[in-house]
Chain A
């Protein structure tokens, strides 16, 4: 099963690369697209991407591990991020984070064992006048209390289908 999954993943990477020029400034957008579609940048994809851009595998691996948005291990089906920066700290994001960890049953910075959800720290969504702020997928939510957090998680049905 693992094998066919990873074959399918590489096929998707090839599909992305066929419509991408090989200029260096497109490496990061490509990696972001791979991350978006596959929820991580699989190790097996590194060589394929490196060849496309005429780079070494070390170059591509180095870029992949530098940026917080790119992940070696797959994210859960739902990505829940809670802002941990100062403006949200001033309105209680630390207590909200404690609540979120209990509600989701995961420690911040980790993925649930059933891969349903990843809970991440984030540093600022530019929603500082309406904190605490939570992002679920591409949706940003402000003035999030513990109660509202639970409602949002319920409204998102625990998991979004992968794109």
Chain B
């Protein structure tokens, strides 16, 4: 029997040489008559192992980590499959602790199957949620989502069920489902990985959302920094159309649903839902005033469900297994699982999907394996560029939305970026304001002007000019931005700055430096 050899076709794996590895293996197959064929799977998200080559064996898939083309000659000797005693062999991939200790609901198929193979998707539990949704009324679908306790995974953590209900309850001839795939936060890549590894799950989630809300057209707004995700999703959409999953009778009873892919153009603010809608409408992506909520008057004035990739993907599990099953994971008001994303100065970065409630420390240490540089870790930024920098004293905080709010931080989209002790958090505070100045849409003054003034005042503080007076000014500016900004960009930029003032004060205020 022909043995499948898996080489990920994921932009992360490709960024470190997976394509060259696949080519080298193909050459061996062609020349030696090895009875094997290459399958390009997605990535499992254990990036420290990439490029990770997996070979099917009787007891499961056997992994070979960090393979380079120069290793192929010793991996495949003649027509023999690799020996498990090869130094790159990591044994059964399912036994790798980084993967084994996760609770994967959304990312269960990631890295296991060929992402655009619809039959493989179906054979591994795909479309079960959609099939069940087809037997329910829209109200029953929304009830399942509400019972699951699912909250928006994009960062704002708004209860998904309420959003779905609002769109369902708003009477209109046309409604839209918009998938926010403008994953701009640094340190986050779960949306990208899901689209590249399991794109049909997103398509299925959007179909369920269409059935639940009565929408007839969907848009995926994908950032331009993800060219490979664009290619994979384009291919998956066209296969789904050919299979009749999308198109004229997609929702049954002659009701159509299709999905259009729209690329962003490098504006971070488009991750904000109203700005995203403006961008799809072909405008400058200025944030809209709310109300009206997009659920009532969104894209082109029609009721619009805007959800993040992971929220829509989770809806497939919620419908397949039931809202109560999903709600059975997690703690407090944070139900279900969250795909945390470990990155920065960390030994083992990647996707770690866990029920809410584990400690930040367990992620950094048990999964992440500490710093990449070998130096002590000093700060961890959670929740993207608008998230707080947390010192070691707060790493025992449980990963749940409310626990993070209690320590003046946020989980956001689940990005966790580690810094070792060479970090200058004064520079990071200045960067936070700089980034806001660069990416502000310009509509509201606290964000547009505040961020520029923020850069200036932080520069003065870092130079040691009139330290305490400028610190008071910075505190005041942060308060104005928090209270007066129209959206989270201006409203949350003070969060990293204030976390540095609180926890790493001597990095910023040099006159106080004495460590």
Where the two chains meet, the residues of A that have a C-beta atom closer than 8 Å to any C-beta of B are 24-29, 31-32, 53, 59, 62-63, 66-70, 85-91, 122-131, 133, 135, 138, 140-143
Contact = CB atoms under 8 A, between A and B. Distances in A.
A87 B343 contact: yes
A68 B187 contact: no
Contacts of B435: 85, 123
A142 B16 contact: yes
Interface of B: 11-12, 14-16, 47-48, 50, 183-189, 191-193, 224-229, 262-268, 279-285, 341-346, 349-350, 372, 381, 385, 415, 417-420, 423, 428, 431, 435, 439, 441
Contacts of B415: 87, 128
A140 B228 contact: yes
Given A32-B265, A124-B225, A24 B349 contact: no
Contact of B185 (A32, A62, A124, A141): A124
Contact of A90 (B262, B282, B344): B344
Contacts of A88: 186
B81 to A, nearest CB: 27
A24 B285 contact: no
B299 to A, nearest CB: 9
A69 B270 CA distance: 13
Q: 3 closest Cβ contacts across the A-B interface?
A: A129-B349, A85-B186, A27-B282
A142 to B, nearest CB: 3
B449 to A, nearest CB: 18
A87 B188 CA distance: 9
A69 B15 CA distance: 22
Contacts of A141: 15-16
A89 B385 CA distance: 12
Contacts of A53: 282
A32 B344 contact: no
B266 A67 contact: yes
Given A123-B435, A126-B11, A127-B15, A87 B225 contact: no
Given A87-B417, A90-B423, A126 B342 contact: no
A131 B350 CA distance: 12
Contacts of B185: 124
B226 A123 contact: no
Contacts of A62: 284
B362 to A, nearest CB: 18
A28 B225 CA distance: 16
A145 to B, nearest CB: 12
A24 B282 contact: yes
A129 B265 contact: no
Given A86-B381, A91-B344, A91-B345, A126 B225 contact: yes
Given A25-B262, A125-B226, A140 B343 contact: no
Nearest to A68: B266
B189 A127 contact: yes
B423 to A, nearest CB: 7
Contacts of B381: 86
B15 A142 contact: yes
A105 B364 CA distance: 39
Nearest to B346: A129
B16 A25 contact: no
B51 to A, nearest CB: 10
Given A67-B266, A70-B265, A128-B343, 11 more contacts: A28-B279, A66-B284, A68-B266, A89-B428, A90-B344, A124-B185, A126-B12, A128-B344, A129-B12, A129-B342, A129-B350
B169 to A, nearest CB: 26
Contacts of B14: 140
B500 to A, nearest CB: 13
A135 B12 CA distance: 12
Contact of A26 (B16, B266, B282): B282
A86 B265 contact: no
A1 to B, nearest CB: 30
A129 B47 CA distance: 6
Contacts of A86: 186-187, 344, 381, 385, 417, 428, 431
Contacts of B284: 62-63, 66
Contacts of A129: 12, 47-48, 189, 341-343, 346, 349-350
B245 to A, nearest CB: 23
A85 B225 CA distance: 13
A66 B267 contact: yes
A87 B15 contact: no
A144 B1 CA distance: 39
A24 B299 CA distance: 12
A134 B264 CA distance: 19
A122 B225 contact: yes
B455 to A, nearest CB: 15
A140 B268 CA distance: 19
A69 B192 contact: no
A66 B441 CA distance: 8
A124 B418 CA distance: 15
Contacts of B11: 125-127, 140
A100 B215 CA distance: 48
A53 B282 CA distance: 10
Contacts of B184: 123-124
Contact of A91 (B47, B372, B431): B372
B186 A69 contact: no
Contact of B265 (A68, A85, A142): A68
